[in-house]
Chain A
Amino acid sequence: MKPAPFRYHRARDTEGAARLLAELGDDAKVIAGGQSLVAMMNFRLARPRHLVDIGGLRALDHLGTDSTGALRIGALTTHHTVETAPARRLGPGFDVLRAAMGWIGHLPIRTRGTVGGSIAHADATAEWCLLAVALDAELHTHGPRGPRRIPAAEFFFGSYTNALDPDELLTEIVFPRPAPHAALTEFAERRGDFAIVSAVVDLDLAGTEVRGGRVALGGVAPVPVRVPEAEQVLATGGSFADCAAAAAAAVNPPDDANGSADYRRRLIGTLVRRACEEARAR
């Protein structure tokens, strides 16, 4: 199908984009890479009257580590830029992000789709949303009421809903510390599809000994979730298999066309164990 008519506006800077959004009100939407929004507009699932194109805002297209060791990713950085970033911009401490990109759609999607767009879109199984929750990312926004810094744990409200106000822009995604022993893995029926279940494990290792870690899951709730029960197993010296079993037992996954709750629980068991092993091997 063809999208409904709208008026196109090209933003020249972040301030201007935010001002324009405030002025145009509820009828306006931001467009970044368009890899989710244009598809929805073509189906008329979205019919904004105004589009504010932020695609040209170079200031929001950056990637690199700051003096505190945090990784700062501009909202307009594409999945492809992360995937192909040289080590001086994306060091080994953040290899988990680079490796995770291969799971997002396919090359022609990754060349246009942006990190900020993924997080603002807030699909329950989007890799960036899961990574943000698992690795305690902080989301920086800019709106008429000034800038905000929102922890990922408080950002996602439900599928496709989050803490962003309609006239607020996501500007930067900050991963506060390196996660050298972390891995994302997932299962989808076809390569490149959104995952049925996805898992991130971020281990704290002393040599080869596991001292603890973070476990987060996508596709088991309307938002990505941390699983304290599974993290407890890692913190108390339990095996990866026990950690995976604890994760599967702790959550109450949905029953839908993509898989029954029972099937998802089995996937969780397999994927958490696999992610633990990949994280340790890293």
Chain B
Amino acid sequence: MTETPIDPAIDPAAERQLLALDVNGTAYEVLCESRRTLVDVLRHDLRLTGTHVGCEHGICGACTVLVDGRPARACLMFAAQAEGARIRTVESLSGDDDGRQLSDLQQAFRDHHGLQCGFCTPGFLMLAEGFLAERPDADRAEIRELVAANLCRCTGYQSIVDAIESCATARRAKEATEATATDETPEAAEATGEER
């Protein structure tokens, strides 16, 4: 049985719109219905299936992406609202095209067992990526508060907190070493061995 297509003249809402989206630095054009959420466009139209979708009402955080650098729920945005913004998804973290070269944050999740089934992981990665860009000096208490934003049914969160904290610590240490590139000061050495 074929469905009768809805005539846009009768049902204006059935119209499609052409959207220009900037995802991971690539310009895309997508023809879709207005009601398409950003997460559905990412997954179904752009085939960027790294971003997951769970609850579709902002609770679980599986769909978290960066919008102009800030973590946001891709299920609570229509794709049309994302025009003009820079969207980043988990696919952007890796240094190469096939995703084999892990970023420092991804590597930290791996090292600290910050994932088990992995369903929540893209969301946590983008949450942490956006957060650390804004709060590079975040301490463990702030990171604990942050991860309350997303749900993980497997890890119990401790290992996710460990991963994010160790990534933040390593980035700070790297920065300190770079700042004192030639002349290693005791402060920089101390930052490298940062306490937990």
B-binding residues in A (CB < 8 A): 1-8, 10, 31, 34-35, 38-39, 41-43, 49, 51, 53, 55-56, 80, 84, 102, 105-109, 111-112, 190-192
Contact, CB under 8 Å: A109 / B73:
yes
Given contacts A7-B34, A108-B71, A109-B73, A53 and B57 within 8 Å (CB-CB): no
B128 to chain A, nearest CB (A): 10
Instruction: Select B35's contact among A4, A84, A106, beta carbons within 8 Å.
Output: A4
Tell me the bound Cα distance from A205 to B107 in angstroms: 53
B residues whose Cβ falls under 8 Å from a Cβ of A:
11-15, 17, 33-35, 37, 40, 56-58, 61, 64, 67, 70-73, 75-78, 80-81, 84, 127, 130-131, 134, 145-146, 148-150
Closest CB in chain A relative to B126 CB, distance in Å: 9
Residues from chain A with a CB closer than 8 A to the CB of B134 are: 84
A107 with B131, Cβ < 8 A, contacts A6-B13, A34-B81 known: yes
Contact of A5 with B57 at beta-carbon distance under 8 Å, contacts A53-B80, A108-B72, A192-B149 already known? no
Contact for B58 among A7, A35, A84, CB less than 8 A: A35
The answer to whether B35 touches A3 (Cβ under 8 A) is: yes
- Expressed in whole angstroms, the minimum distance between the Cβ of B158 and any Cβ of chain A is 16
**How many CB-defined contacts (below 8 Å) exist between A and B?**
101
Q: Which residues of B contact A192 (CB under 8 A)?
A: 148-149
**Residue of A4, A10, A35, A39 touching B80 (CB-CB under 8 A):** A10
| Max count, chain A CB within 10 A of own CB: residue among B14, B127, B134, B149 | B149
Which residues of B lie under 8 Å from residue A105 when comparing CB positions?
Answer: 58, 149
CA distance A6 to B71 in the complex (A): 26
Given the complex of chains A and B, what is the CA–CA distance between A151 and B123 in angstroms? 40
What are the residues of chain A within 8 A of B61 when measuring CB–CB? 106, 108
Chain B residues positioned under 8 Å from A102 (CB to CB): 145
Compute how far the CA of A41 lies from the CA of B73 in the bound complex, rounded to whole angstroms. Answer: 15
Chain B residues positioned under 8 Å from A53 (CB to CB): 80-81
Rounded to whole angstroms, the CA-CA distance of A111 and B67 in the bound complex is: 9
In Å, the complex CA distance between A191 and B147 comes to 11
Contact between B14 and A38, CB atoms less than 8 A apart: no
What residues on B are CB-neighbors of A109 within 8 Å? 58, 73, 149
